[in-house]
Every structure is written in C-alpha cells, then in structure tokens.
Amino acid sequence: MENLKISVCIPVYEADGKGVFFLRKNIKGILNQTYKNFEIVISDHSVDYEIQDYVLSLKHPKIKYVRFGIKRGYGAFNTNNAIKNATGDLIKLMNQDDYIESSDFFKDAIHLIKSGKKWVLSSFKHLDYETGNFFRPQIPSFGVKDRARNAYSMIHALGSLRFPVICKPLKSFPRGHEKQGEFIESHMHLPLIVLNREDLLAINDNDTSNFPTSDLYDTFHEVKSIHLLDGINLIGCPSVGLIPKEELVDVNLKYMIDCELWYRLYKKYGEPGIIEKDFPIIIGMGNHQVTQKMAEVREDLIEHDKQYCSILYNNK
C-alpha cells in the first residue's frame, strides 16, 4: 500500500457558460495538495470546445483530457468514462463545480486507507455561487443510529423516516434547502436522537400500528438502509467520496445515483473512514446545477429510482 495513486475523476460540461470558471477552481484545489501521487482525469461532455481549449492550454503532466460525445446530458455516463480512463489505485470523484479547500485532504484520506478503511467520506460545506456565502457544514451521516454530529443531518434523518419516530411536526419535513433551514431553526427545541424501541413507544403513546414489522431500532445496518434507498441522502454528493477503483456509478438511475453508490459501498466494504475536521470539500450550489433543473420532475425521478433499487436489492 505504499505510495497509492489517486485518480481525480471530473465529468464536465458547459454548465451554462460557467464550465471553465468552475473547473479552474476545482483543478487549483487538486494541484495544491501536499500528497502528490495523483492524476486528474477530465471527461468532457461539452458541445463546444471552451473547456477543451482551457485544459489543453495548461499542458500539465498530471491532467488527462478525454472528449466524450456519447450520451450527452447523462452525467452518469460521463462520470464512468472518467473512471474508465483512470490509472490510479483509488478514485476521487469530483463534480465540476465543487472543489477541495484543504491542501492536506489527500494526505488525510490516504492515512485512513492505510489504517484499513476501503473507502473514505469527507465533511463538507456548501457555497452559494450567487452570493459567495458558505453555509450548512455537514458531516456524512448514515442515519438515526449514527448519532449525527450536526443538527441538520439528525433532524433530516428523523423527519424522513416513514414511520413515526419523533414529535408530529417532523412528519412534514420539507424539501428544499431554504425551507429545511427555516424548519430546523423553528424546531431546534425538539429531541434529536431516538435510541431504541422503548423510546419510540413512549413518544407514540404505545401505539405500534405504524411501526415497521422488523425490529429496526437496534440494527445499525437496517437503519442505515432506510433513507439511502428511500432517496434520502445524508452523506453528500459524489465529491465527498474516495472510493475503490473497481466501482462505477449506476447509469440506470436518474436521480439517486449517489444514494445507491453509498449504499453499495457500505454493503461491500463496510464502514468508511470519515474526515471530520475543517470541512475540506466545498459543494457548489446555484441555478447552473442539473439537479436544480430537474426540480419539477424530481419526485417522479426519485420514485423511478426507488422502484429500481427495490428490485436491485430484493426489497432489502
């Protein structure tokens, strides 16, 4: 495991004319890493040549550029093309508009891999590209029993489960970052952690009619399963992960690509190492995002993906 090589895989496209702007910041954060055994693989779905011209002008020996014209508009295919062109031992996925702020991120991630972890997740914070403001720092959370270390993740986890786990207002937990932020602020007085079946019974006045048939309360893995395959992602986007080189994203999914990826990795490799300090990954937010453009059909896409995952994992 000496001198492991990291392949940073960046699928790119025009991004409403901001493609080069985002990519420039992304590449800078990678080249600033103190751990130097890495390559950058850029798979370009652009119709124009602006990104290609920019990347080739850098003439950097660590950067591999691949133009990819197949399945334009389907980011999963573009991501997999970058991975397939990688030569490293580990894959660092990076969305085009995200970047790494800490110069020691690779060093810290490799330390966790050498300690025995097969994959790594990182804490992160969001950047509103419209205002330039940072907001909502998060540590990846797998669910209720993970005792999430920030209020957002825990409230989101509890509010998203399909059976009553806490006070009634959480049943109507809203979607959309702005509404969620307002909701959290107005409900911070509520208890945040449900530990076991007895707690659930007490909260629900001993009414078990809506409880799931299996005993999920004392099973860490089962609680983790609920929100990921239900489309509830408390872990983060692909940019927060360092994963084994054998893994690709599932091109059959339309919206829950990251949810399925994290679930699959946990099933295959167990607990990830988690970098908690300093929130080194910056997740870009704005109207340019593909997920923002999907807003009107998001629920339909999630329903499609939930049904697909249900079949894929035999309803488990």
DSSP letter string over 177-211?
HHHHHHHHHHTTTS-----SHHHHHHHTTT--TTS
Mean pLDDT for the chain overall: 78
For the entire predicted model, the pTM comes to: 0.75
Lowest mean pLDDT among 16-30, 202-216, 220-234, 290-304: 202-216
CA 299 vs CA 25, 234, 250, 272: distances in Å: 32, 18, 19, 29
pLDDT tens column, 117-173: 999 999 999 999 889 998 888 888 775 444 333 434 443 444 443 333 333 333 343
Angle at alpha carbon of residue 263, lines to 257 and 264, rounded to 5°:
90
Compute the distance between CA of residue 50 and CA of residue 55 in angstroms, rounded to an integer.
9
| Range list for CATH 3.90.550.10 in the chain | 6-134+236-287
Q: For the chain, what's the residue count? A: 316
- List the CATH code of the domain at 6-134+236-287: 3.90.550.10
